[in-house]
Amino acid sequence: MELLENSGAWLSPTELDNARANLPIVYVDAIPVRVDANGSVTEVGLLLRVLPDGSISRAVVSGRVLYRERVRDAIMRHLEKDLGPMAFPKLPASPQPFTVVEYFPDERVSGFHDPRQHAISLAYIVPIEGDCVPSQDALDLIWVTPDAATSPEFELEMVGGQGRLVRMALAHCGLLP
- List the domains of the chain with CATH numbers: 20-172 (3.90.79.10)
pLDDT of residue 77: 95
pLDDT of residue 50: 85
Q: Which amino acid is at 100?
A: V
pLDDT of residue 92: 84
Q: What is the pLDDT along the chain (177 residues), one digit of tens a residue?
A: 444 555 555 678 888 777 767 788 999 999 999 999 999 999 999 999 887 778 889 999 999 999 899 999 999 999 999 999 999 999 988 889 999 999 999 888 988 988 888 999 999 999 999 999 988 778 899 999 999 999 998 888 999 999 999 999 999 999 975
Residue 66 DSSP label: P
pLDDT of residue 70: 94
Closest by alpha carbon to 32, among 93, 76, 96, 95?
Answer: 76
Burial class (CB within 10 angstroms; exposed 0-12, middle 13-18, buried 19+) of 15: exposed
Cα pseudo-dihedral 36, 39, 42, 47, rounded to 10:
110
Distance CA 128, CA 124 (A): 12
